[in-house]
Structure 1
Amino acid sequence: MRTLLSIFALICLMSCQQNISESDLSKLNGYWEIKEVVFPDGSTKEYKANTTIDFIETANLKGIRKKVQPTLKGTYFANDDAESFTIRQKGESYEIYYKNDYSEWSELLTSLSQHQFSVVNKEGVTYHYKRYEPININE
């Protein structure tokens, strides 16, 4: 039953997704924080505050995704760890493929704008991100 619900949720998400063009993919560049996760059963988890955010940089259908920690001065702490990815067109959609020494996975890009994006993984879990706005206590 759970598998059936997951497949149904994935089909619904795919039919509701916006059209994303290759030129839109540059909107992924920048700092992002997770806003909400929607599980296949419909339950959600909201994130009000994040101690780490994602830095994404793309060019020519390739990119990196790196976890960084924002500071109160508007700067970021980061280490050298980054996940490399490739973006492939899949029909009218784009899928982000990650591969490292331990695992490989993909996420279907379901929406993308200058201020938000969403992806859904193979398990039917949807991740909603919003553009990170730094907090600067020096202002």
Structure 2
Amino acid sequence: MKNILGLFAFSALLVSCSKPISAEELKNLNGYWEISEVKTADGDNKEFQSNNNVDFFELKDLKGTRSKVVPQFNGKNQTNGIKEHFTVVDSANATYLKYATDYAKWTEKVDKLSKDELVIINDNDIKYTYKRFTPIVVNE
């Protein structure tokens, strides 16, 4: 019983020590990101060496868009033109992206954000780890 109480107290301490992503760190969200790893709530893990699709984020004044793009070998990107709009919200010592489309509304927690790494946890407790996308350009 003491172990359970100790674990609960430690977990509460960890949660209370988390902090929202700073405005300066949020600038890192802009740009192209590719998924490098996905971890489900039950612990299943999948790593990705490369991706056909990349997420493109644009953020300005705590409002932004996210779109899927397909990188081309000439350095350009193709997109289907669909943009998911989101708002950045700080709540309960964490930073969230709140999305709203004509079809759905959902929230994702920004667990970590740096120049080279982005970690997002969705409503189903699935953790997506992204790395900054580096395009491959083939010269003819």
* Shorter-normalised TM range: 0.7 to 0.9
TM-score (norm 2): 0.84
Q: CA deviation at 1:123?
A: 1.4
Q: CA deviation at 1:20?
A: 2.0
Q: Secondary structure at the match of 1:23?
A: helix
The answer on whether the counterparts of 1:18 and 1:110 sit within 8 Å (CA) in structure 2 is no
Distance of 2:106 and 2:117 partners within structure 1:
22
2:107 aligned partner: 106
Q: CA deviation at 1:27?
A: 0.4
Per-residue CA distance 1:91-138 (angstroms, 9 max, x = gap): 321100011111110000000000011011121110100000000111
Distance of 1:43 and 1:118 partners within structure 2:
16
User: What is the aligned-residue RMSD (CA, Å)?
Assistant: 2.2
2:21 aligned partner: 20
Q: Which amino acid aligns with 1:52?
A: N
1:74 aligned partner: 75
Q: Which amino acid aligns with 2:85?
A: S
The answer on whether the counterparts of 1:63 and 1:86 sit within 8 Å (CA) in structure 2 is yes
- Residues 103 and 19 (structure 1), Cα distance of their counterparts in 2 relative to 1, 3 Å cut: closer
**4+ aligned runs moved over 4 Å, structure 1:** 16-19
- The percent of aligned pairs where both chains have the same amino acid is 39
2:52 aligned partner: 51
- Residues 23 and 91 (structure 1), Cα distance of their counterparts in 2 relative to 1, 3 Å cut: farther
User: How many residues were matched structurally?
Assistant: 129
Bigger Cα displacement from structure 2, 63-72 vs 17-26: 17-26
Distance of 1:111 and 1:44 partners within structure 2:
18
The answer on whether the counterparts of 1:17 and 1:110 sit within 8 Å (CA) in structure 2 is no
The answer on whether the counterparts of 1:18 and 1:111 sit within 8 Å (CA) in structure 2 is no
1:31 aligned partner: 32
Distance of 2:128 and 2:18 partners within structure 1:
13
Q: Which amino acid aligns with 2:74?
A: K
- Residues 83 and 119 (structure 1), Cα distance of their counterparts in 2 relative to 1, 3 Å cut: same
Name stretches of at least 5 consecutive residues in structure 2 with no aligned partner.
Answer: 1-7
Q: CA deviation at 1:24?
A: 1.0
Bigger Cα displacement from structure 2, 30-39 vs 43-52: 43-52
TM-score (norm 1): 0.84
Name stretches of at least 5 consecutive residues in structure 1 with no aligned partner.
Answer: 1-7
Residue 94 of structure 2 is aligned to residue 93 of structure 1:
yes
The answer on whether the counterparts of 1:53 and 1:70 sit within 8 Å (CA) in structure 2 is yes
